[in-house]
Amino acid sequence: MRNILLYALLALLPAMASGQSKYITQFYNHYKAQEEVTNLNLRGFVLSLASTFTDDKDAKKILRKVSHLRLLMMEDENLVSPQQYTSLIRGIKSDHFEELMMLREENQRIEFFLREEGETITDVLMLLHGDGEFLMLSLEGALKFSDLNNLKLDIDGGEHFSKIPDRKPKA
């Protein structure tokens, strides 16, 4: 019986790991331990628990749909070189992420990338890259465009989620 359970778990392992982009994980792991970096890595139960602490109906609904949240923030100094940033972008694009939109605001560049399976958005990546700051927000789950539009985050760049269209732009 134990062998059957073990084989079943081993068979499911690739499916459970498929949602994670190795490029995002490598990038996150490279910077998360540095002293100047604030990082947050939340999964499953903790996200469900967080949804109970908000009165905002949209936030509750979205938090229930997110299975993994990662935040990497550099407020005082941007430690990410242009080469490392370009490498991350190239990596996620090769991992089937599409650029949804890009905004320039003063000396900041804000980019949104997503990966879909059918009509469901499985991964969202927001990057804020500026002279003195950097922010990476990675969400995994089962989301819709309207969920992203209603996402309200109290972080630098969080207000830009409201600029995401309600549906995917036609090519």
Separation of alpha carbons 146 and 140, rounded Å:
16
Q: Could you write out the three-class secondary structure of 91-145?
A: HHHHCCCEEEEEEEECCEEEEEEEEEECCEEEEEEEEEEECCCEEEEEEEEEECH
Separation of alpha carbons 152 and 162, rounded Å:
8
Convert the pLDDT of each residue in 34-76 to its tens digit: 999 999 999 988 877 877 777 778 778 888 889 999 999 998 8
Q: Name the domain count of the chain.
A: 1
Q: Model's pTM, two decimal places?
A: 0.76
Separation of alpha carbons 48 and 65, rounded Å:
9
Question: What residue numbers bound the domain in which 142 lies?
Answer: 20-163
Q: Please determine, for residue 87, whether its predicted confidence score (pLDDT) is greater than 80.
A: yes
